[in-house]
């Protein structure tokens, strides 16, 4: 009887340890999306204002676009170039999607999302033009990142559509009249 009780306690403790480890791993994975560096994730956590978070995600997307353009203009052969290009495009898509998600959440919780919406509309158009230019230019390595480029273009177009509908929902900034 006593051995059975000890075995049950040991089994329960083992189960708790395994569940604790799984829970810790899940919590750690939710702290930072895969496409953000630890420094970027910390900046996002520190930003309390939803408009500031959108601005940060758009800044991070711009960084990835600049790095992508730099990598594409390099003429010397590189190891893992297709992985680098796919990673940059994936990171860009993640940043744009997160910025779009923050705008959608802000529409429900923050009445002053106009600055973020306007910023998204302006910057996403610029990013889309760059991505379409890259696609039009083609090139020998295009096949290695074509799908990621198409996903980035689609994500940017979706974000622009969402920003446009959010802009219509919020309407123009109210005009203050003199009394």
Q: Are 42 and 33 in contact (CB under 8 A)?
A: no
E strand or H helix that includes residue 117: helix 114-137
Query: Nearest CA to 61 among 35, 34, 30?
Result: 35
**Tens-binned pLDDT, residue by residue, of the chain (179 aa):** 677 777 676 766 666 565 566 555 554 444 445 888 899 999 999 988 888 999 999 999 999 999 999 988 888 777 888 899 999 999 999 999 999 999 988 877 777 888 889 999 999 999 999 999 999 988 777 888 889 999 999 999 999 999 888 888 766 555 566 76
Helix count and strand count (H, E) for the chain? 6, 0
Q: Which two tokens stand for residue 5?
A: 């009780």
The closest alpha carbon to 94, from 23, 46, 32, belongs to 32
Residue keyed to tokens 């920003």: 163
Question: What pLDDT sits at residue 144?
Answer: 85
What pLDDT score does 58 carry? 95
Short-list 92, 93, 115, CA closest to 167 = 115
Q: Is 38 helix (H, G, I), strand (E, B) or coil?
A: helix
- What pTM was computed for the model? 0.75
- pLDDT for res 32: 44
One DSSP character per residue, 123-157 reads HHHHHHHHHHHHHHH--TTHHHHHHHHHHHHHHHH
């Amino acid at each position: 009887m006593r051995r059975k009780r000890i075995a049950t306690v040991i089994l329960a403790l083992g189960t708790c340890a395994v569940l604790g480890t799984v829970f810790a791993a899940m919590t750690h994975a939710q702290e930072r999306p895969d496409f953000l560096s630890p420094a970027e994730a910390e900046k996002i956590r520190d930003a309390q204002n939803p408009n500031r978070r959108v601005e940060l995600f758009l800044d991070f997307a711009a960084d990835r676009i600049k790095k992508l353009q730099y990598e594409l203009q390099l003429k010397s052969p590189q190891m893992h170039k297709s992985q680098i290009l796919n990673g940059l495009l994936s990171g860009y898509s993640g940043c744009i999607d997160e910025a779009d998600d923050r705008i959608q959440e802000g529409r429900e919780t923050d009445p002053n999302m106009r600055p973020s919406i306007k910023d998204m509309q302006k910057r996403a158009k610029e990013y889309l033009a760059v991505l379409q230019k890259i696609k039009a230019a083609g090139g020998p390595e295009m096949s290695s990142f074509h799908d990621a480029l198409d996903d980035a273009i689609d994500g940017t177009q979706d974000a622009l559509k969402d920003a446009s509908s959010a802009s219509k929902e919020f309407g123009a900034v109210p005009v203050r009249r003199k009394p």
